[in-house]
Amino acid sequence: MTERRVLLIVGGGVAAYKALELTRLFRKAGVGVRPILTDAGARFVTPLSLSALAEDKVHQDLFGLTDEAHMGHIELSRSADLVVVAPATADLMAKAANGLAGDLASTTLLATDKPVLMAPAMNVRMWLHPATRRNAARLEADGVAMIGPDEGAMACGEFGPGRMAEPDAIFAAAMAMLAPRPRPLAGKHVLVTAGPTAEPIDPVRMITNRSSGKQGYAIAEAAAALGARVTLVTGPTALRTPPGVSRVDVETALQMLTACREALPVDAAVCVAAVADWRPEEAFETKLKKTGEGPPTLRLVENPDILATLAANSPLRPKLVVGFAAETNDLEANARAKLAKKGCDWVVANDVSAEGIMGGDENEVVLVYPQGTDRWPRVSKAEVARRLAARIAEDLA
Ligand code: CTP
């Protein structure tokens, strides 16, 4: 078996000393560590101690000629199975989120084709600053996995989120990412729609619904975990992008349809989004005012059915199209009717009248397909997602 290898980028922060312990944990587990130390990082730990623990050369300089002769930065960025950034400073996160490449660490992050795990560490105000919030969200949307930061007393004397996760937690997360997994969906492209849509009435008002997006995000995550390339087209939600998933944010049903079309071709499409059936015929450009003549009349027009559009016969029709049905009664019969009406291959129906399903973390579903029906017990939405992803893998195999 070849040795698994981590490229460990150590940024500048008090937490950099924990990178030494992290290195020791990796080496003890037989994982190779190739360290990159930023200039700021070298103010907190010495290249000598990092190199001694890693039992490897420490790379520091983008323009180090000997490094380029032996190993260019592109090769370096791909020489490991996983890139771990610990501590991930606000500066490193900002550079990576914006694709800057002015030094070895940021160039490596831009050039790598390997999964990336970041362990942020910074002052609590820096972590909560809108710029860092934006950068973290963008990195997660790009598929970067994050661990921490933890909350607690900080070296700067403040209290709150910002402390780097402990080395053993970073180690465990990294090992989970390194573990060889069955990847039956490798080479397949899966499209998932999720969340509600928001249909504007005027600049401040809209028609939307209570969909949390949880089930759709869980399905995107489960498909990615099985090796699929996943495009998640999502309406507004409060959820984090699952690791390894490409996320496209939309608001309206029309935007969702366009984004889905742009994602084609795909091998499977799973439509979980709670798309608004109707939208206001026109969205007013300025805020509707009370005129004293009573309430305005809103004319609604029907939105396109994204599921039915994707399932329609066309050269780009995915091999498998899956719809969801939220029903309150006659679950199976309604789901079977929906299967026929929408032209899709499977309908996953859930009984939304049951306590704790809408917006909750559990789901109880039946899977309806032309040849039969499967009833699944009440399990977590994550487990429904894993079962569905496994079924999709079987079907596409
Ligand atoms: N769907 C869609 N585009 C729409 C409406 C629904 O893609 N404009 C998809 C949902 O993502 C989901 C399924 O269709 O997969 C849900 O259908 P539903 O909204 O329940 O169907 P309706 O035809 O509205 O059925 P009903 O009015 O009986 O609830």
SS (H, E, C) the chain: CCCCEEEEEECCCCCHHHHHHHHHHHHHCCCEEEEEECCCHHHCCCHHHHHHHHCCCCECCCCCHHHHHHCCHHHHHCCCCEEEEEEECHHHHHHHHHCCCCCHHHHHHHHCCCCEEEEECCCHHHHHCHHHHHHHHHHHHCCCEECCCEEEECCCCCEEEEECCCHHHHHHHHHHHHCCCCCCCCCCEEEEEECECCEEEECCEEECCCCCCHHHHHHHHHHHHCCCEEEEEECCCCCCCCCCEEEEECCCHHHHHHHHHHHCCCCEEEECCECCCEEECCCCCCCCCCCCCCCCCCCEEECCCHHHHHHCCCCCCCCEEEEEEEECCCHHHHHHHHHHHHCCCEEEEEECCCCCCCCCCEECEEEEECCEEEECCCEEHHHHHHHHHHHHHHHHC
Please give the distance, rounded to the nearest whole angstrom, from the Cα atom of residue 274 to the centre of ligand 1. Answer: 7
Nearest CA owner, ligand 1 atom 24:
277
Please give the distance, rounded to the nearest whole angstrom, from the Cα atom of residue 203 to the centre of ligand 1. Answer: 26
Domains and CATH numbers, the chain: 5-178 (3.40.50.1950), 189-396 (3.40.50.10300)
Tokens read off for 335: 């789901």
Question: Higher confidence at residue 20 or residue 181?
Answer: 20
Is the predicted pLDDT of residue 358 greater than 90, yes or no? no
Question: Higher confidence at residue 362 or residue 370?
Answer: 370
> What pLDDT, on the 0 to 100 scale, is given for residue 134?
95
Cα 293 from Cα 171, distance rounded (Å): 66
Is the predicted pLDDT of residue 126 greater than 60, yes or no? yes
Cα 185 from Cα 190, distance rounded (Å): 9
Mean pLDDT throughout 218-245? 94
Tokens read off for 295: 């309430």
> Which residues contact residue 284 at a Cβ distance below 8 angstroms, ignoring those fewer than 6 apart?
201, 202, 203
Cα 117 from Cα 103, distance rounded (Å): 19
> What pLDDT, on the 0 to 100 scale, is given for residue 329?
87
**Are 230 and 217 contacting, i.e. CB atoms less than 8 angstroms apart?**
no
> What pLDDT, on the 0 to 100 scale, is given for residue 142?
80
Is the predicted pLDDT of residue 361 greater than 90, yes or no? no
Please give the distance, rounded to the nearest whole angstrom, from the Cα atom of residue 14 to the centre of ligand 1. Answer: 52
Q: Is 369 in the pocket of ligand 1 (CB under 6 A)?
A: no
**Are 216 and 194 contacting, i.e. CB atoms less than 8 angstroms apart?**
yes
Mean pLDDT throughout 319-334? 93
Contacts of 247-252 with C-beta under 8 Å, sequence gap 24+, read: 247/141, 250/197, 251/197, 251/198, 251/200, 252/197, 252/198, 252/199, 252/200, 252/276, 252/279
pLDDT in tens, 131-182: 999 999 889 878 799 999 999 887 778 888 999 999 999 999 999 999 877 8
| Residue with tokens 């990796």, as numbered in its chain | 26
pLDDT in tens, 64-96: 746 556 667 788 888 899 999 999 999 999 999
Look at 54-63, 66-75, 181-190, 273-282 and tell me which has the smallest mean pLDDT: 66-75
pLDDT in tens, 26-39: 999 999 999 999 99
Is the predicted pLDDT of residue 104 greater than 70, yes or no? yes
Tokens read off for 101: 């490449």
Instruction: State what percent of residues in the chain have pLDDT above 70.
Output: 97
Q: Is 305 in the pocket of ligand 1 (CB under 6 A)?
A: yes
What phi and psi, each to the nearest 5 degrees, are found at residue 135? Answer: -65, -40
According to DSSP, the β-strands at 278-280 and 300-302 are antiparallel
> What pLDDT, on the 0 to 100 scale, is given for residue 68?
57
Q: Is 346 in the pocket of ligand 1 (CB under 6 A)?
A: no
Is 260 one of the catalytic residues?
no
Ligand 1 pocket mutation, candidates 271, 339, 350, criterion most atoms within 8 A of CB: 271
Q: What ligand 1 atom has the least distance to the C-alpha of 304?
A: 8
Question: Higher confidence at residue 63 or residue 128?
Answer: 128
Q: Is 253 in the pocket of ligand 1 (CB under 6 A)?
A: yes
Q: What ligand 1 atom has the least distance to the C-alpha of 323?
A: 15
Q: Is 213 in the pocket of ligand 1 (CB under 6 A)?
A: no
> What pLDDT, on the 0 to 100 scale, is given for residue 159?
87
Q: Is 256 in the pocket of ligand 1 (CB under 6 A)?
A: no
Please give the distance, rounded to the nearest whole angstrom, from the Cα atom of residue 207 to the centre of ligand 1. Answer: 16
Average predicted confidence (pLDDT) for the chain: 93
Q: Which of 177, 181, 169, 222 is nearest to 80 (CA)?
A: 177
Can you say whether residue 90 is alpha, beta or left, with left for phi > 0 and alpha for psi between -120 and 50 degrees? alpha
Q: Is 54 in the pocket of ligand 1 (CB under 6 A)?
A: no
Ligand 1 pocket mutation, candidates 306, 341, 350, criterion most atoms within 8 A of CB: 306
> What pLDDT, on the 0 to 100 scale, is given for residue 61?
87
pLDDT in tens, 276-316: 999 999 999 999 999 888 898 999 999 999 999 999 999 99
Ligand 1 pocket mutation, candidates 277, 330, 347, criterion most atoms within 8 A of CB: 277
> What pLDDT, on the 0 to 100 scale, is given for residue 1?
43
Q: Is 303 in the pocket of ligand 1 (CB under 6 A)?
A: yes
Please give the distance, rounded to the nearest whole angstrom, from the Cα atom of residue 270 to the centre of ligand 1. Answer: 12
Cα 152 from Cα 31, distance rounded (Å): 30
Ligand 1 pocket mutation, candidates 342, 345, 346, 351, criterion most atoms within 8 A of CB: 342
Nearest CA owner, ligand 1 atom 18:
325
